[in-house]
């Protein structure tokens, strides 16, 4: 009996030794959540927008004399025919227009006011063969009256109308000569009076023609100047321009 008890105890001890040392238990703990730290925003520098507004320019009085001492935003220049690129420059108390090629027309429109009854006068001179003149009742969609003189002592009144940007057609209303105009150079004071249905043409303070223009349908518009080259380039000078109610 003791022998059996001893054997049982031996086998129990042997079995316990063969089972080995039990593995330690691993305790799983929840991962701690770190508090969220605020991430500073990257500041984009604010660039102020470029100004887009055109400065408000107060126009001169409705009736005044432009001495061409300083450039004016109220003058708009455009080619009316021919080639090359004419230019207009305010310099030394005059408006200078350079027309670099032959057979080219150029206009300057004073767009501060429109006029129905108005008189415009100008002192002009040119360096070579060509014509210079005055414009009244300029309406981009309807046309304009243009009074020109040239170095042959001839004057003309034309109806100008746009065919396309930079291209105009001219319909002759009258063309004639006058002993009030210089022959050989363009150096005169001319005037154009547009009143009701009558246009009056002046050269050196003398009336040279009066015309009824009822049938042309132009009653109001801007005033301006014109210059053109004929057989060769030309340079035209406008010393002053007077706009009046007379």
Q: Domain holding 177: CATH number?
A: 2.60.120.560
Per-residue pLDDT band for 36 (boundaries 50, 70, 90) equals very low
pLDDT at 151: 87
Give a yes or no: residue 234 inside a domain. yes
Question: When comparing pLDDT for 231 and 23, which is higher?
Answer: 231
Please tell me whether residue 14 adopts helix, strand or coil conformation.
helix
Indicate whether 24 belongs to any domain: no
Residue 36 to residue 146: CA distance in whole angstroms: 81
Comparison of pLDDT for 120 and 7, the residue scoring more: 120
pLDDT for residue 18: 45
Residue 185 lies in a domain: yes
pLDDT at 210: 97
Average pLDDT over residues 17-38: 43
48 belongs to a structural domain:
no
**What's the pLDDT score for residue 29?**
44
User: How would DSSP label each residue in 111-148?
Assistant: EEEEESSEEEEEEEEESSSEEEEEEEEEETTTEEEEEE
pTM: 0.76
Predicted pLDDT of residue 6: 37
Domain that holds residue 87: 64-244
| CA within 13 Å, CB half, 45 | 2
**Cα separations in angstroms, 64 against 128, 146, 236, 239:** 30, 21, 22, 14
Q: What is the pLDDT at residue 239? A: 96
pLDDT of residue 60: 86
Whether residue 199 lies inside any domain: the answer is yes
Q: How many structural domains is the chain composed of?
A: 1
d(CA 138, CA 110): 9
Task: Give the pLDDT confidence score for residue 184 in this predicted structure.
Answer: 76
Alpha-carbon distance of 140 to 111, in angstroms, equals 11
40 within some domain: no
In a domain, 92, yes or no: yes
Q: In this predicted model, what pLDDT tens digit does every residue of 165-176 receive, in sequence order?
A: 999 999 999 999
Sorting pLDDT into bands at 50, 70 and 90, what band is 40?
Answer: very low
Residue 86 · residue 99 · CB < 8 Å: yes
Beta bridge partners of 51: none
Asked, for residue 97, whether it belongs to a domain, the answer is yes
pLDDT category of residue 5 using cuts at 50, 70 and 90: very low
pLDDT at 148: 97
Residue range 201-242, pLDDT digits in tens: 999 999 999 999 999 999 999 999 999 999 999 999 999 999
């Amino acid at each position: 009996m003791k022998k059996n008890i001893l054997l049982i105890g031996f086998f129990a001890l042997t079995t316990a030794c063969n089972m080995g040392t039990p593995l330690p238990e691993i305790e799983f703990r929840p991962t701690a959540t770190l508090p969220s730290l605020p991430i500073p925003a990257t500041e984009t520098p604010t660039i102020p927008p470029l100004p887009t507004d055109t400065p408000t320019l107060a126009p001169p009085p409705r009736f005044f004399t432009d001495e061409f001492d300083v450039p004016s935003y109220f003058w708009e220049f455009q080619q009316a025919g021919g080639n090359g690129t004419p230019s207009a420059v305010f310099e030394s108390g005059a408006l200078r227009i350079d027309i670099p090629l032959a057979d080219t027309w150029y206009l300057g429109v004073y767009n501060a006011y429109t006029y129905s009854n108005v008189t415009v006068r100008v002192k002009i001179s040119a360096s070579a063969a060509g014509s210079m003149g005055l414009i009244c009742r300029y309406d981009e969609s309807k046309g304009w009256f243009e009074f020109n003189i040239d170095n042959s002592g001839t004057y003309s009144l034309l109806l100008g109308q746009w065919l396309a940007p930079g291209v105009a057609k001219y319909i002759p209303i009258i063309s004639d000569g006058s002993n009030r105009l210089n022959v050989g150079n363009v150096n005169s004071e001319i005037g154009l009076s547009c009143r009701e249905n009558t246009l009056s043409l002046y050269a050196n303070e003398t009336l040279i023609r009066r015309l009824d223009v009822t049938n042309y349908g132009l009653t109001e518009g801007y005033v301006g100047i014109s210059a053109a080259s004929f057989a060769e380039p030309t340079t035209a000078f406008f010393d002053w321009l007077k706009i009046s109610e007379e």
